[in-house]
Copies of this chain bind each other. A is one copy, B any other.
Amino acid sequence: MSSAQPNTRTRILQSTLELLEASGGKSVRMSDIARHAGISRQALYLHFTKRSELLIAATHYLDEMKESDQRLLPSREAVSGAERLNVYIEAWGNYIPEIYGVAKALIAMGDNDREANEAWEKRMLDMRQGCLAAISALADDDQLTVEFSIDQATDILWTMLSVRNWEQFTLQCGWSQSEYVKRMQSLASQLFVRK
């Protein structure tokens, strides 16, 4: 099905993602992307008016590729709130490394570019919904610790699971990806699940 000659727009998006992934979030220039995609720098601007637009489109494209919607949907098999929390943390936690490159570039742009900032914030609010759902499931099961309101617990889980924190735990502290997931699950369970 997928063609040997994907259309230019797609090639650009793929190149963008490859370069961002490879360079671990370092600044990738428009000219780099163009060269990698085998087109002129100017041709980029025929498809995307600004760098921010390209980055935003690249994140959407990545979502499509990885079918993130499905992955981040609450698992049907998760029977208890506690189990569901674990499933969510695992799904999201393992998604982070795959989006890290684009994410970092988008965050960096956000400091100067309003649209990039809004795009990233929107994404993060979506992800907050996932946290809220997990915490709510816990509350419905009467398993949520008394210390927190649903909102507070959601805020905390949301922040705990931020890309920045993943970056710090893995890249700075040297945790492996599987350690990261396991420990975040354990942390969340200690904090939020009543014993």
Contact = CB atoms under 8 A, between A and B. Distances in A.
Contacts of A25: 111
Interface stretch (A37-45, A59-67, A168-176): A168-176
Interface residues of A, number: 26
A168 B165 CA distance: 11
* Stoichiometry, copies per complex: 2
A69 interface: no
A162 interface: yes
Nearest to A152: B183
Contacts of A98: none
Contact of A186 (B147, B162, B183): B147
Interface string A131-172: 000000000000000010000100110110010110011001
16 contacts: A25-B111, A26-B111, A27-B111, A147-B186, A147-B190, A156-B183, A156-B187, A158-B168, A158-B173, A159-B168, A159-B169, A162-B165, A162-B168, A164-B164, A165-B165, A190-B191
